Chains A and B, each alone.
Chain A
Amino acid sequence: MSFLKIHNLSVDYKMRKETVYAAKEVNIEVNKGEILGLVGESGSGKSTVGNAIIDLIDEPGKITNGSIMLGDIDLQTDTNNTVNYRGKKIGLIFQDPQTSLNPILTIGEQLIETIQTHLDLSKEQAKNKSISLLKEVGIKDAEKRFDNYPHQFSGGMRQRVVISLALCCEPELLIADEPTTALDVSIQSQILDLIKKLTRERNLAVILITHDMGVIAETSDRVAVMKNGNLIEIGATKKVLTDPKEIYTKSLVSSVPPTNKKISRFVIVEKENELNTKHNIKILNRWTKTEITDQNLVQVKNLSKSFEDNFFLENSKNSVMAVDNISFNIKEGEIFGLVGESGSGKSTIAKMIVNLFKPSSGEIFFDDICVTKIKKNKELMKFRRQIQMIFQDPYSSLNGRLKVKEIISEPIKLHNPKISKPDLDNYIFDLLESVELSQTSSDRYPHEFSGGQRQRISIARALATQPRLLICDEPTSALDVSIQAQILNLLKDLQEELNLTILFISHDLPVVRQMCNRIGVLKEGKLCEVSNTEELFLKPKDSYTKELLHLMPKIESIYK
């Protein structure tokens, strides 16, 4: 008999206007010593299931049906005991290691507190136990670091501390809710290895909640796919990923960018009728295409940027080199990728190219004009309309107080003040249809749209000035994988039809491989390597590139 048995679990959120069924009659079983991957897109109910197990459903949510059996204890009827089981029998790892530790207590105090709550140990015993736990999760000098505060640890180390906290009372079930989403690739693989190791050694039952199919493929033994609160498919990971039965699972798997080859377009399974057809790009008629020559559109020469963090002492030693002596070129009509982990300076470079930041030293040339030296307002406006940017967060990149048509008309009116009202409306409609949104969207406000649709509005706004260079700063990192596939398809189509030059910034190597012609790899503000995409993936020169490629979670690893 399996260790954790979830039977017909239903969770409802009674909202003001409607009832949201976050989980509908979900049946899941987990055995000891196995990792069950719980995968789904945002809003699919995967976290709800995790929270229901430890009775952490927030108001106004309610478990309306079903039972959760842990061994032979019914967690539903034994509500008094849930508190005792939390932490003791069930350990929990949250997504964000920055916020899941109390910043004003040392990690030692937090460990001892948790241990003494559940186990009958003296302070000395608890301390010894904590130190051995910290050693087990791979923290060096555990005796010394025991008295450190959370901010003295890096993100990956902090997640290790969180794991040691989850394990400190010998739980039998571990729930990890997106444990590596906030971490960089290199740290992600270490944490996943640690979870795998602990599962084996301690014979744990683990539920790994994630949206990342690569993580699922590399770690889990079995996988459960959820959508809109329904359990779509459950089975051995290899079987589900290689031979999915349900259409939804198929589309999910096909949306994941493959790491081992380049494909021309993502297959969108759910829209089977329109499979692989390019849509009509209406603004093409208005577009004055630039001929693709082999010339450099952007030249970046010895660019550096340091941030001073001390107001009074401008030459303090605390200044951080965000970008350190970088040079590269972007050719007209190509998609150039910049890859790096968080803090590698990729966004800073983008902001310097669009003239939001001033570089500390170095020069940026756009079409042989030195961007950093533009003084006159008229020239700046001419330059502004040629470079546009798409941002990562679709929620903060649109002003929520303006209608979509006001958002899109702003750049049009600014660069063409004489445009007539009907012409303006037509232009807006053309732009909206070019990004596959309906004309009726123009009268609505941004909050009425989903993340993917908002990103389309961003793209429409960026295209309104008919730019030559489009900078995409992590355009799909905040989106679900199926939406990501659609947005990437759209960007590819637009780039081909409109002869756009794109600077594509991402931390996601598989995505970059699908999108870019050439790639630059950044590490701590320095450019390690620039080469053609296939060359980079097949024959990486730099050791850091090799490491990154080795560590990225691969959905293909399932075939091994």
Chain B
Amino acid sequence: MDNNNLSILSRIKDSDIYYNFKKSPTAIVSSFILIIIFFCSFFVEIVTPYNPFDPSSLSLMEAFTPPSWTEDGMAKFILGTDGQGRDMLSTILYGSRISLIVGFSAILFSLILGVGLGLTAGYFGGKYEMLVMRLTDVQLTVPSILMALLVDGIARGIISREMHDDMAIYVLIFAIGISEWPQFARVSRAATLVEKNKDYVSASTIIGVSNLIIMFKHILPNILRPILVIGTIGLALAIIAESTLSFLGVGVPPTTPSLGTLIRLGNDFLFSGEWWITFFPAMFLVILAFSINLLGDWMRDTLNPRLKK
């Protein structure tokens, strides 16, 4: 077993991806930023000294403290505090955890839905393929934010008011997930069409392997590369979509604010001079999305055999 692990490690070290990674400063910097953000967000209780959601630790006297380097700043609040005296940095990290959870879950949901439909559509073809692909066409004509708003509106109609705050995060995941799947369906169908005509698929068919095993054991691992690339870029889109919805007030409730909620809350204070309450969550979101996109770009360049020199 030990030997096996070692060989996997050495295979990674030996691979072209690792080699290209070492040669690309963009990839190194962006993944470094992402690792820090992910770590701080998921271990936020350990990283931050304050819990912004514990009312007993808040003091209204400390509300609207500007960042520490300005004239009125306090050293213990590096990025200042908001209208309720919550430490901005801690609040942002708590918020980014929610944004990341929603983003990852939504993209996972649309990955499973999209790849499942795209793979089967490409493999079986015929009327089923027609149906799936026209469905993606129809959905692509509706802007994804509008789609998510629609889902959210329907959910509000169905779910009772008391339940809604608890369910909000799941509704959000579903709303974003359902609006992103056509991308994955299209890409995985196109890749499946290429793979299914290769001889190794014919060979498996001739041996007598069932369609299900051919699709998931043989074809799926071979189409993962393009899916991984659009999945990464899709993650950034999902996080931005979450923030947009929360900014519009249809996302997660203000009691458990995500990055978008924070930007919306801070927006009210922007014209009274308390710029930091909206500026820092917004900057954080930009850096997060930008880093994911840069990493996705690098992955597309590296994993695309057609771009190889």
Residue ID in chain B nearest A412 by CB atoms:
B207
Q: Are A356 and B199 in contact (CB under 8 A)?
A: no
Taking A16-B19, A399-B218, A399-B222 as contacts, is the C-beta distance between A384 and B208 under 8 angstroms? Answer: yes
* Contact between A381 and B208, CB atoms less than 8 A apart: yes
Chain B 190-204 residues near chain A, CB threshold 8 A: 198-200, 202-204
Chain A stretch 360-390: residues in CB contact (< 8 A) with chain B: 380-381, 384-385, 387-389
Q: Within residues 173 to 211 of chain B, which ones have a CB less than 8 A from any CB in chain A? A: 198-200, 202-209
Closest Cβ neighbor of A471 among chain B residues: B206
Whether B200 lies near A411 (C-beta < 8 A) is: no
Query: Which B residues are in CB contact (< 8 Å) with A429?
Result: none
Inter-chain contact A391/B221, CB cutoff 8 Å: no
Most buried by A among B199, B205, B206: B206
Count how many chain B residues have C-beta atoms less than 8 Å from C-beta atoms of the other chain. Answer: 17
The answer to the question of B309 belonging to the interface, with a C-beta cut-off of 8 Å to chain A, is: yes
Whether B205 lies near A356 (C-beta < 8 A) is yes
* A465-B202 in contact (CB<8A): no
Instruction: Find out whether the CB atom of B205 lies under 8 angstroms from the CB atom of A410.
Output: no
Are A415 and B208 also in contact (CB < 8 A) when A399-B222, A400-B222 are? yes
1/0 per residue, CB under 8 A from A, across B201-234: the answer is 0111111110000000010011000000000000
> Is A414 close to B, CB under 8 A?
yes
Which residue from chain B places its CB closest to the CB of A394 in the assembled complex? B199
Q: Closest residue to A351 on the B side, CB-wise?
A: B202
Whether A396 contacts B19 by the Cβ 8 Å rule is: no
Q: Mark B115-126, 1 if CB is under 8 A from A, else 0.
A: 000000000000
How far does the Cβ of B2 sit from chain A's closest Cβ, in whole Å?
A: 16
Contact B200 A399 (CB under 8 A): yes
Question: Binary interface profile of A, 389-404, with partner B (CB < 8 Å = 1, else 0)?
Answer: 1011100111111100
CB atoms of B199 and A397 under 8 A apart: yes
List of B residues within 8 angstroms of A16 by Cβ: 16, 19
| Nearest-Cβ distance from residue A133 to partner chain B, whole angstroms | 35
Q: Chain A 171-203 against B: per-residue CB contact (8 Å), 1 yes, 0 no?
A: 000000000000000000000000000000000
Check if B207 sits within 8 Å of A414, measured CB to CB.
Answer: yes
Interface residues of B in 140-188 (CB under 8 A from A): none
Query: In whole angstroms, how far apart are the Cα atoms of A387 and B202 in the complex?
Result: 13
Q: Which residues of chain A have C-beta atoms less than 8 A from B309's C-beta?
A: 59
Query: Across the interface, which residues of B come within 8 angstroms of A351, CB to CB?
Result: 202
- Assess A410 versus B19: contact at CB under 8 Å? Given A399-B218, A400-B222, A401-B221: no
30 contacts between A and B (CB under 8 A): A16-B19, A59-B309, A356-B202, A356-B205, A356-B206, A380-B208, A381-B208, A385-B207, A385-B208, A388-B206, A389-B203, A391-B199, A391-B202, A392-B199, A393-B199, A396-B198, A396-B200, A397-B199, A397-B200, A397-B202, A399-B200, A399-B204, A399-B218, A399-B222, A410-B207, A411-B207, A411-B208, A414-B208, A414-B209, A465-B207
Spell out A's residues near B (CB within 8 Å). Answer: 16, 59, 351, 354-356, 380-381, 384-385, 387-389, 391-393, 396-402, 410-411, 414-415, 458, 461-462, 465
